[in-house]
Amino acid sequence: MRQFFPYIRIWACISLLCCLLAWSLPAQAASSVNPKLEQQVLQILRQHPEVIIESVQTYEQQQQQQLQQTRQAFLQDLKTNPQLVISESPTTGSATSKIVLVEFSDFQCPYCAEAHKTLKQLLAKHQNEVKLVYKHFPLTAIHAEALPAAKAAWAANQQGKFWEYHDALFANQKQLGEALYIDTAKSLNLDLEKFKSDAFGINTLAEKAIGKDVRLAEQLGIAGTPFFVMKSKNFSGVVQLSNIETILADAK
């Protein structure tokens, strides 16, 4: 957080300056700033920097309060109305279990690939005890193939083969690309024309569905993948099976 503070402070200065100038100038003169007034405002800011710091702190507190409210609402829905959280996301494991494990994942993330192995073990041992829900969270800023892979998996889900496709993507993570996406669709006997339209079309339903998951992740303040939520617990990164089993036991 330290490295971002100067930018926040500059932003706060500019915002406050703009507000003061807007109050002081007539509407028709908004495009031209009076140099004398600008210097006066800057002088005030230099003499009272605590105003900026207090403003930033207030803003951060408001953001944290909003984040906590969003997280509490999410956990409440997960507890009392899990289908609202699941929505149209693919699920596997127990169809009837009230214990829901929500995963936010990125097909190009190496940590997600490792976590995938652990989740396979978890479901093999506890398939009647937990329902796994997959939420897309492609980290597009650092993973060029994250979104294309997510769209391809979404397209496979439209033909009932999400989890088989999901497993294939993680098993071949180093080969992510259009050739792999099409070859995997062929190997799963998907309707290839429909798959290509769903996965590679412009402004597709896939992007809208994935975007919905991404917005949820951002609203919850999730910064990376993999990220998991079970009951009131959340955990992230490469997790050990024993750790998830402990959380599962507490949830039961």
Residue 6 has what pLDDT?
Answer: 44
- Residue 242 sits at the vertex; the CA angle it makes with 161 and 103, to the nearest 5 degrees, is 35
Q: Please, are residues 251 and 127 in contact by the beta-carbon 8 Å criterion?
A: no
Residue 157, both tokens: 């889900």
Residue 2 has what pLDDT?
Answer: 37
Residue 48 has what pLDDT?
Answer: 73
d(CA 150, CA 106): 8
Phi, psi (degrees; rounded to nearest 5) at 170? -70, -35
Instruction: Give the closest residue to 68 by CA, choosing from 241, 234, 204, 245.
Output: 234
> What is the full per-residue pLDDT of the chain (252 aa) written as tens digits?
334 444 444 454 555 545 544 544 444 444 556 787 778 777 777 777 776 677 677 766 776 777 788 889 999 999 999 999 999 999 999 988 889 999 999 999 999 999 999 999 999 999 899 999 999 999 999 999 999 999 999 999 999 999 999 999 999 999 999 999 999 999 999 999 999 999 998 878 999 999 999 999 999 999 999 999 998 899 999 899 999 999 999 988
Residue 59 has what pLDDT?
Answer: 67
Alpha helices in 138-240 (DSSP H): 146-157, 162-171, 178-187, 192-200, 205-219
Q: Please, are residues 130 and 122 in contact by the beta-carbon 8 Å criterion?
A: yes
Residue 252 has what pLDDT?
Answer: 81
Domains located in the chain, CATH noted: 2-70 (no CATH), 82-251 (3.40.30.10)
Residue 51 has what pLDDT?
Answer: 66
Residue 241 has what pLDDT?
Answer: 95
Residue 100 has what pLDDT?
Answer: 96
Q: Which residues share a beta bridge with 100?
A: 131
